[in-house]
Amino acid sequence: MSVSAAREPQRAGKAAGWASDRSITMGLSVLAAIPILLFLLLPLTGILLRGFETPSGFGIGNFTETFGAERFWRLVLNSISMSLTATLAAVGLAYFYAYALQRAAIPFKPFLRIAVLTPLFAPSLVQAQGLILLLGRNGVLNRFLGFDIDIYGFWGTAIANALYAFPYAYLILSAALAVADARIYESAETLGAGPARIFRDVTLPATRFGLAAAIFVVFTLVMTDFGNPMVIGGDFSVLATEVYNQVIGQAQFGLGAVIGIVLLVPAILAKLIEKRISSRQHALVTAQSKPLETKPSRGRDLAFSLYAYTVVSLILSVLVIVVVASFVRLWPYNMSFTLKHYEFDVQNGTAPLWNSVGVSLATAILGVAITGLTAIVVQKFRNPLTGPLSLLAILPAAVPGMVLGLGYVLTFNDPANPLNVLYGSFALIVILSVYYNHAHAFLISSTSLKQIGPVFDEASTTLGGSTLTTLRKVTLPLLWPTLLGVGVFYFMRTMVSLSAVIFLVTPSTQLAAVSVLQLSDRGAVNQAAAFSVCIMAIVIGCLLIVRTILWLAGAKNVTLIR
């Protein structure tokens, strides 16, 4: 037998690859596509249809009524102005904070990197809680130091949202600033450029794509946030709170759907622009690049150290004051120490907390299975479903949580829908949580799969392994650290989720983040603070446990917070 003839089976095996067993690959593709159609595309379609549904049939009556109201345009202006203010503050502060950590010699950098991420461990409205405890009518500064600050309204909402969005901006900008070629900076210095000129002509252009991405991500985040304006907004209303008022307060589902559709527009536009900008980014580091090393500079390092510790002190003070409030008897009238608020002598007691833990665990398990399967189908298979599936998988990135939650109410609260049996159950909340966070989890899994070379699949196929065998013995063992990270992501995001689930919770399916909102709304400051502290403690405990597991397994480089 000739050498070329002997190699023919090997070539055939390589060519077949993962697509060798077409029935299995198509079956797995269908299995990934069906739930995303039912639990993502169907609810979004439901919102669109309900927006055009009027008592006399289908029409534009809801849109005419909404757009013709002066209040609507005032809400649009409020939302845009507040979002722009919060975005500029968050991104501006985060850029120089990331710059300080990446380009200056600052002591205790690991602490600074972790501390600034703490807002991710709590519901968004905790920022508003902390600001009220610090700057509200009975806050520390007003009551004990004699200040007269009115934090409610536009500025309170903007500051709370800026603090809430700061970690998201920092993560993006830190990654952008971490990539640099020392040769460019050395050339600039050789040509006589000073630090300010180098920053303007080298650093800013090199990070413009990351800066643009951070701006669009943060703008979308604060534009659609619901918790902070509900707690600290006072008479200042935005579109997100109006959706809640229309649906919960007035049962105007049609008008609520119209405003939900309006909220979709800036979110989708921001995502499209971000994607367009990212596609134009070119590689900043090549094989010939030289890593940029931080050179000590006493004046610069001192200035950035003061800046970084001032920013992190502001962020931590808002969270620490919430922790303090959970241990005092009656804020701010009786500041004696007590643990009574952790007895949770409120409606439903500790049930919402344990409900959240159970829902978050279930979401993590189901989310890992669904996003892992979807990522494998998109990255490893080639059939007519993989293209549309890859687009649907990232669609939730452009859908605000409150809009998706409203879509679930409109779709699954319909007796004519066979899936109506899920309405009012924990199962539907779990499914909603999976698809609300699906895009990010899918991208994490897909990125990891791209880093696994095809040689492993080809070797398995050459040795006679089927698609399922290769999946079980090759892909999943290599992917497990990433999937564990995805599970942590799902758990953390579900524990702190508020806007996505606000329409689905019932007295029997109450969740901790919703309880925090309701307690804050009733003025039960201390009990709300205790619930918030428990949520943060559970999330941090989960991160520590998983980090320990990864350390013991030798997977020390897996990133859990993205």
Residue 500 DSSP one-character state: T
Give the total residue count for the chain: 562
**Can you tell me the distance from the alpha carbon of 221 to that of 217, in angstroms, rounded to the nearest whole number?**
6
**Can you tell me the distance from the alpha carbon of 485 to that of 441, in angstroms, rounded to the nearest whole number?**
9
Residue 400 has pLDDT above 70, yes or no: yes
The predicted pLDDT at position 461 comes to 65
The predicted pLDDT at position 175 comes to 83
Contacts of 11 (CB under 8 A, 6+ apart): none
Task: Say if 161 falls within a structural domain.
Answer: no
Residue range 421-440: average pLDDT? 95
Do the beta carbons of residue 247 and residue 406 sit within 8 Å?
Answer: yes
Task: Say if 303 falls within a structural domain.
Answer: no
What is the tally of structural domains in the chain?
1
Do the beta carbons of residue 206 and residue 103 sit within 8 Å?
Answer: no
Per residue in 161-194, pLDDT tens? 999 999 999 998 988 887 766 677 667 667 777 7
Helix (H, G, I), strand (E, B) or coil at 297: coil
Task: Say if 93 falls within a structural domain.
Answer: no
Per residue in 313-343, pLDDT tens? 999 999 999 999 999 998 878 889 999 999 8
The predicted pLDDT at position 145 comes to 77
Concatenated DSSP letters of 182-207 = HHHHHHHHHTT--HHHHIIIIIHHHT
Task: Say if 159 falls within a structural domain.
Answer: no
Concatenated DSSP letters of 142-190 = IIIS------SSHHHHHHHHHHHHHHHHHHHHHHHHH--BHHHHHHHHH
Task: Say if 318 falls within a structural domain.
Answer: no
The predicted pLDDT at position 147 comes to 79
Residue range 524-551: average pLDDT? 91
Task: Say if 403 falls within a structural domain.
Answer: yes
Helix (H, G, I), strand (E, B) or coil at 387: helix
Task: Say if 15 falls within a structural domain.
Answer: no
Residue 491's Cβ-count burial label (10 Å; 0-12, 13-18, 19+) is buried
Show the domain range for 38: 21-60+346-561
CATH of the domain at 551: 1.10.3720.10
Structure tokens at 17: 């690859």
Task: Say if 251 falls within a structural domain.
Answer: no
Structure tokens at 493: 């995001």
Residue range 482-499: average pLDDT? 92
Q: How many CA atoms lie within 13 A of 129 on its CB side?
A: 36
Confidence of residue 504 (pLDDT cuts 50, 70, 90): very high
